Amino acid sequence: MATASTVGLWVTLTYRDADAALAWLKAVGFEENAVHRGEDPSVVEHAELVWPGGGGVMLGTYRPRPEWPTEPGDGSAYAVTDDVDGTYEAALAAGGRSVQEPRDEDFGGRTATVADPEGNVWTFGSYRPR
């Protein structure tokens, strides 16, 4: 099992099919840290996946909650990786949709962007913000 990161910023998302999201995220390089289910084993109450470069994502199965006004598929994240092209290809092979093919950026580094199977946008880049 992966260990929790000391990075203090985590992306939080909801998915209609949290189990499919867990599989997609692991295919692109996230490591499962914890998955908690309630009485209904098809519902992911809370899951944590660690990104090898630090930080991670927490997710769960979507449930309408007025106090938490987020919908599945409307999130975005940037994940630092030294293997932009390989991560991009893994994301597509796991069912993601290309938004931007890998390219070198004027500001430095290389990036590629993929929408996961529920529409959340993931940019994988070698640029490390300061």
CA distances from 48 to 24, 73, 84, 102, 106 (A): 14, 18, 23, 27, 34
Q: What is the pTM of this model?
A: 0.86
Please say whether the beta carbons of 112 and 101 come within 8 A. yes
The pLDDT of residue 49 is 96
Structural domains present in the chain: 10-62+75-125 (3.10.180.10)
pLDDT tier for residue 42 given thresholds of 50, 70 and 90: very high
**Closest by CA position to 30, among listed 9, 8, 1:** 1
Please say whether the beta carbons of 4 and 50 come within 8 A. yes
Mean pLDDT of 90-112: 96
The pLDDT of residue 14 is 92
Query: Packing angle between helix 18-27 and helix 84-93, nearest 10 degrees?
Result: 150
Look at the alpha carbons of 63, 64, 70, 73 in this order and tell me if their dihedral is positive or negative: positive
pLDDT digits (tens, 9 = 90+) for 48-87: 999 998 999 999 999 887 776 678 888 899 999 999 999 9
Asked if residue 6 has pLDDT above 70, the reply is no
pLDDT tier for residue 46 given thresholds of 50, 70 and 90: very high
